[in-house]
Amino acid sequence: MLGILLVASSLLFLASLSASPPVDLRINLIHIDSRSNFSTSELFHRASQRTRYRTKTRELKLTNSSPNFRSSLHSMDGEYLLELAIGTPSIPFMAIVDTGSDLIWTQCEPCISCFAQPTPVYDPSRSSTFSPLPCSSPQCESLAYYNCTPECRYYYNYSDSASTQGVLATETLIFGAHSVRDVAFGCGHANLGASFNSTGTVGLGRGHGSLVSQLGIEKFSYCLTSFLESNITSPLLFGSMADLNTSSGATQSTLLTQNPFDPSFYYLDLKGISIGETLLPIRAETFELKKDGSGGVIIDTGTALTRLEQAGYDIVAREIKSIVNLPLVNSSELCFTLSSRLVPNMPDMILHFEGANMTLPMDNYMIVDSNKGLFCLAMIGVSGGSILGNYQQKNIHILYNLAGGMLSFVPAKCSEI
């Protein structure tokens, strides 16, 4: 979840998955809208709203100079959920999974103020493996703001009046048949806001507090099915299970870069964009990461539709308008009217990263709503930085090699992995 940084770094790496690290692990992800009966238009509108909201909160984070600023926990943050369990005895824990943050946290009893959730609220007093972290712990001392009584207590305000307050502790997490001891997490007793069907978040970012860092995992991958195929799960793979199957195409690899102002995020070096055989005349600096931490391109599971720096988006939109000979709909998105219900034949879009080309077929950058007769670009224009969203990542198996600092990808049928 971009910008939701509730704890700082220096959380302990785990040394065990029931005594040894879970080097091989598969978890099935569920899209947040999978249990709702939304139409294609509604799904597109909801995805666009979530993307625009995340854009707003990231821009606030980059421009707000107050040290007390924290980005918002909001009902539209997050895209994919994973099912796990927490505590001994365990209870279900439905979490937003997010490559753009580090924190693992859940709502806790006594629940002074909490948002509605579909499963029982975790009660630390009923778990034999719950252990509050003391004020002297490195994890507590690494927090920007905390209160000790003598447990390490945290309190954060959010830009949209949402907030979370609780205790930093360790606990056992269960992924299917695998249990992981002593995971550092936030136990929130007062949480204002809403978060779809989740009870918290599991961060997969680059900071030490994320799940992959705490487990000491050197690589993970995922393959996302489209949110328009809401009943199909998407695999999240750790360890050797994360490896790509090269039989479906040539593997492409590019360096993961890092922004010192946003160290949790996975940045990519985007050089340009082609549509079909046409290399678009986008200036080289359009997608560059600036010295002040603005700009750049992040790959994120928690953003639905790709957001492109406005100067680049305008050129992409102009090229698409020249290809699609259909009337435009008066809306905030680039949508055309399919008067004859016939979908135009669109060339592939190619994202040119440093050393790698990501080919997006039409289904990965355009949305077809046959019922309403709409044909829309699944991207939005923004200022301050670009994000490769999960709609563009669908049916591409994406591997994060943390040890080597590389991102690799290959076309795949995600429902068959």
SS3 (DSSP) at 326: coil
Residue 35 has pLDDT above 80, yes or no: no
CB atoms within 10 A of CB 368: 18
Q: CATH topology of 24-237 equal to that of 243-410?
A: yes
**CA-to-CA distance for 274 and 262, rounded, in angstroms?**
28
**CA-to-CA distance for 56 and 3, rounded, in angstroms?**
11
On whether the CB atoms of residues 217 and 238 are closer than 8 A, the answer is yes
Write down the architecture of domain 24-237 according to CATH. Beta Barrel (2.40)
What pLDDT, on a 0 to 100 scale, did the predictor assign at position 412? 93
Q: Show me where the domains of the chain are located.
A: 24-237, 243-410
The DSSP bridge pattern shows strands 306-309 and 379-382 to be parallel
**Catalytic-labelled residue, pool 33, 98, 102, 262:** 98
* 363: annotated active-site residue: no
341 versus 308: which is more confidently predicted?
Answer: 308
* 300: annotated active-site residue: yes
According to DSSP, residue 72 is labeled P
Query: Per the structure block, which two tokens stand in for 290?
Result: 């600036």
**CA-to-CA distance for 264 and 108, rounded, in angstroms?**
25
Query: Which residues make Cβ contacts (< 8 Å) with residue 42, sequence separation at least 6?
Result: none
**CA-to-CA distance for 397 and 218, rounded, in angstroms?**
17
Q: Mind listing the pLDDT tens digit for each residue in 106-141? A: 999 999 988 888 888 999 999 999 999 888 877 777
Q: What does the pLDDT average to over 50-70?
A: 42
Distance between first and last Cα of the chain:
25
Right CATH number for 243-410 from 2.60.40.10, 2.40.70.10, 3.40.710.10, 3.50.50.60? 2.40.70.10
pTM given for the model:
0.84
**Catalytic-labelled residue, pool 77, 102, 262, 300:** 300
Phi, psi (rounded to 5 degrees) for 273: -135, 135
46 versus 237: which is more confidently predicted?
Answer: 237
Do you know the residue count of the chain?
417
